Chain A
Amino acid sequence: MDRQKELYREEAYELLDGLEDSLMELEKKPTDMDVVSRVFRAMHTIKGSGAMFGFNDIASFTHTIEAVYDLVRDGKIPVDQNLISLTLASCDLIREMLDASHDGAAPPEEKTELLTSAFVGYLPDCRENGTGKQEASTPESVTHPGSETTEQTWRIRFKPHRNIFSNGTNPALLLRELGSLGTCSIVSHLEDLPDLSLMDPETCYVWWDVVLTTKADYNALRDVFIFVEDLCELTMEVIDAPGETNDENPLYKRVGEILLERGDISTDAVEKALRSQKKLGEILVEGNTISPSAVQAALAEQEQVRSARKRRLAGDDTSSVRVPSAKLDSLVNLVGELVTVQARLSQISARRNEAELIGVAEEVERLSSELRDITMGIRMLPIGASFAKFRRLVRDLSAELGKEIRFVMDGEETELDKTIIDKLSEPLVHLIRNSIDHGIESPGIREQNGKSRAGTIRLSAMHSGAYVFIAVSDDGRGLDAEAIRSKAVAKGIIAPEQALSENELYSLIFEPGFSTAAEVSRVSGRGVGMDVVRNTIDSLGGTVEVTSIPGQGTTVTLKVPLTLAIIDGLLVRIDEDSYILPLSVVVECVEITRHDQEAIPGRHLVRVRNEIIPYIPLRKVFRLDSAPPDIEQVVITEITGNRIGFVVDKVIGQHQTVIKSMGTLLKRIEGISGATILGDGTVALIIDVNRIMHQDECAVSSRVAHEAMAPAPCPAHGPVSPHA
Chain B
Amino acid sequence: MGKRILSVDDSTSIRQLVQFTLEKEGYEVVSAVDGSDAIQKAKEKHADMVITDLNMPNMDGIELIRSLRSDPAYRFTPIVMLTTESALEKKDAGKNAGATGWIVKPFKPEQLIAVVKRLIG
Contacts and interface: CB of A to CB of B under 8 A. Distances in A.
A167 interface: yes
Interface string A138-168: 0111110100000000000000000001111
B98 A139 contact: no
Contact of B119 (A7, A53, A142, A169): A169
B105 A48 contact: yes
B103 interface: yes
| Main secondary structure on A side of the interface with B | helix
Contact residues on A (Cβ < 8 Å of other chain), bracket: 35 or more
Nearest to B77: A168
Given A41-B57, A45-B55, A168-B76, A141 B101 contact: yes
A160 to B, nearest CB: 13
Contact of A4 (B17, B82, B110): B17
B12 A11 contact: yes
20 contacts: A7-B12, A8-B13, A11-B13, A41-B10, A45-B55, A139-B103, A141-B103, A142-B110, A142-B111, A143-B114, A165-B76, A166-B75, A166-B98, A167-B99, A167-B100, A168-B79, A168-B100, A168-B119, A173-B118, A176-B121
A38 interface: yes
B76 A145 contact: no
B120 interface: yes
B103 A142 contact: yes
Contact of A139 (B57, B104, B119): B104
A11 B14 CA distance: 10
Nearest to B21: A4
B107 A40 contact: no
Contacts of B103: 139, 141-142
Interface residues of B, number: 41
B78 interface: yes
A226 B114 CA distance: 12
A4 B20 contact: yes
A51 B20 CA distance: 18
Among B10, B100, B106, residue most surrounded by chain A Cβ atoms (within 10 Å)? B106
A43 to B, nearest CB: 10
Among A44, A59, A140, the most chain B Cβ lie within 10 Å of the Cβ of A44
A174 interface: yes
A433 interface: no
A169 B78 contact: yes
Interface string B27-58: 00000000000000000000000000101110
A139 B55 contact: no
B14 A142 contact: no
B118 A174 contact: yes
B100 A169 contact: yes
A49 interface: yes
A704 B27 CA distance: 83
Q: Closest 9 A-B residue pairs measured CB to CB?
A: A51-B106, A227-B101, A142-B111, A139-B104, A168-B100, A8-B13, A168-B78, A48-B84, A48-B105
A682 interface: no
B79 to A, nearest CB: 6
A59 B110 CA distance: 21
B14 A139 contact: no
A4 B18 CA distance: 11
Given A51-B84, A52-B105, A139-B106, A227 B55 contact: no
B55 A44 contact: yes
A53 B11 CA distance: 12
B24 interface: no
A177 interface: yes
Most buried by B among A141, A143, A202: A141
B118 A4 contact: no
B104 A140 contact: yes
